[in-house]
Structure 1
């Protein structure tokens, strides 16, 4: 099939929502949602972000991935009047590829699973282009002169919603086509075109302030659904530095080391205990400070000096008679990655390593040492109390 690349155009000059690509949307800059989904898709060989914005470039540099490349977007293709196709064609002239996946930075609900499934579907077909769509069940009318006329149904045979197939709408999430088709037609869609149908939540792109509000409501609902799946959590495990603390190392004049913990996180551990959920500290460090803090908060397990956190949690699971799917874990750095991938519910602080932000089920709004543990805990316990 040849090289497959993703192109994400991102202009700096957003008028309705200034700097919207860099505005934080549930713990990440808006553009990060689509970039990280593309990076995680196994079929995409390289992810290019074409931008004229310094803030966008600075934001993306926090994503440590060899698949990501930030390229300059010319002033001519970054005006209010310039089309997305102009940026695509500019990119195509300077880059070798076979297939291009155009991804919009304004679609935060895009997932790597959707990209993976769509690209596989496209590769297995004889189509020239693919369009992501959402099915809408609305009755459409057209205005002609002083009257309106139905386009997709007969009023005298008005169908029930469950029997109505509806119609397909571009949701703007992504488009797939070949380099040759793009250059020959100068359009993102041409020739035989197939669809990839996505969920209703992907219908709304973020272009206006109202779109931001709607998408926030959708994401909150998704988080609630995520929380509802966590009734079976029996063990809560946490890293220390960068999670329970702010990663800072503080020293007195006498050279004594200290760490800064957050009292709100401490209350969260108490809430877990009230809900009969076991608690564990899993850290590679080995200090009296951590032991003392763990004892004060009455952690069931205080495991220090642990190089293989996944194996240690497996041991605890065996002791407790539970499985990894019944474990919630919050960590921040690369030594937490393996465990984050395996547990039933994974979370990270907002300032965690980029790799972990990609794989975690929940990215906290709070930073490490600033209440992220309490935030993650409440996502679990609020569902238990409902």
Structure 2
């Protein structure tokens, strides 16, 4: 088998988006998306990060992936240094027949993309490969000359093969070609077609929002499919099981309003074998009394560290975080939401929560949001 090495250049001096390569997006550092995909593809003998930054190297090491870090000389980490120069430096340090240079700014790449591209590259005996997205738009030069069609014989869209736009996701390059031409592309070049949503590379802040939205949609699809594996449902109280209102009597008694349909949902998921835990930062005997009425024994009140509480719960139950679903509405729920395999919030949750969860309920807190999530879990588990 051809000895293929993955090379991920991660420079530390991004100006348009500071610390871009390790900035959190979709719940992970940007570089983690492509590094995970490369490792999971199974086609690389080594996955190597080339960086000049100790901070990036530390972040990469913290991912727990089988990734090596190659120290990049300072002169190859300037704004003017080329990717080819980084590739040639790697070639002097690493043995390979083919190097696959992967851009962290294309986090929508999948393990299957690497596998299919490798199969195409090998089958055709190509010297290099470029990734692109097909477009059926007509292009022109500034001088009025057409680039990709004849205006005198304008094709119908269904008959037009279109043109590939390079999306910069990754490049295959044989060592011989790289050393002789000092270019990543040359000789017989293959074009690997990728999904339309991979057309955007993260170069500017506006690109970040577009890609983060695409990653969220992808995560929702994946996470929704994993609801069948949920073994623990953790639920916030104020603003989630209640409407966030606090009711006071003239005598100073505090009251909360709970939804009986939410209660029925919790009962049904428990009957289906899913553990239910309630976590609230308020030290409220009302919550304790309500959960006792529902038979929910895992009731944690006055919890200042919800993340720590959730991690302890997972350890006690002997399950993975990926088997946990969490629903909450405010910023003190963010850590738990990001850790859980499936995250949800009421429709009236704060914006910071709505931006990170897999599912935003059609219902408000205390008005059926919890029941909706319970129903999703039950359906996914065939109950």
Which residue does 1:70 correspond to in 2?
A: 69
Preserved contact between residue 265 and residue 373 of structure 1 (Cα < 8 Å): no
Equivalent runs, 1:1-386 vs 2, <5 Å: 1-65=1-65, 67-144=66-143, 148-223=144-219, 225-226=221-222, 230=225, 236-238=230-232, 263=237, 267=241, 270=262, 273=265, 277=269, 278=272, 280-281=274-275, 296=292, 336=319, 366-368=334-336, 372=340, 375-376=343-344, 379=358, 382=361
3-state SS in 2 of match to 1:85: helix
User: What's the TM-score, normalizing by structure 1?
Assistant: 0.67
Gaps of 5+ in 1: 245-260, 284-291, 303-329, 341-345, 350-364
TM-score, length of structure 2 as denominator length = 0.67
**Per the alignment, do residues 170 and 183 of structure 1 end up closer, same or farther by CA in structure 2, a change over 3 Å counting?**
same
CA 1:68–1:235: 2 relative to 1, 3 Å: closer
Shift of 1:68: 0.5
Q: Secondary structure at the match of 2:6?
A: strand
Residue aligned with 1:120, SS: helix
State the 1:3 CA deviation.
2.4
Q: CA-atom RMSD, angstroms? A: 4.0
Bigger Rg, structure 1 or 2: 2
Cα 1:160–1:181 shift into 2, 3 Å: same
C-alpha contact 1:130 1:196 (8 A) present in aligned 2: yes
Equivalent residue number for residue 318 of structure 1: none
Distance 1:19 1:369, change over 3 A: closer
- Matched-pair contact (CA < 8 Å) for 1:103–1:175: yes
Partners of 2:122 and 2:239 in 1: CA distance: 48
Structure-1 separation of matches of 2:295 and 2:38: 39
**Distance (whole Å) between structure 2 residues aligned to residue 272 and residue 373 of structure 1:** 23
Residue 225 of structure 1: how far off its partner (Å): 4.6
Kept in 2: contact 1:262–1:371 (CA 8 A): no
Deviation for aligned residue 1:64 = 1.5
Q: Give yes or no for contact 1:16–1:208 (8 Å, CA) kept in 2.
A: yes
Distance across 1 between alignment mates of 2:148 and 2:15: 35
Distance 1:85 1:157 in 2: 40
Structure 1 pair 108–298 and aligned structure 2 pair: CA distance change class (3 A): farther
Q: What secondary structure does 1:124 align onto?
A: helix
CA distance in 2, matches of 1:98, 1:272: 61
Task: Count the aligned residue pairs.
Answer: 303
Does the residue aligned with 2:48 lie in a helix, a strand or coil? strand
* 1:109 CA drift (Å): 0.3
Q: 1:24 to 1:381 in 2, by over 3 A?
A: closer
Query: Do the aligned partners of residues 71 and 380 (structure 1) sit closer, same or farther apart at CA in structure 2, a change above 3 Å counting?
Result: same
Q: Which structure 2 segments of 5+ residues have no match?
A: 243-260, 278-287, 299-312, 327-332, 347-357, 363-371, 377-383
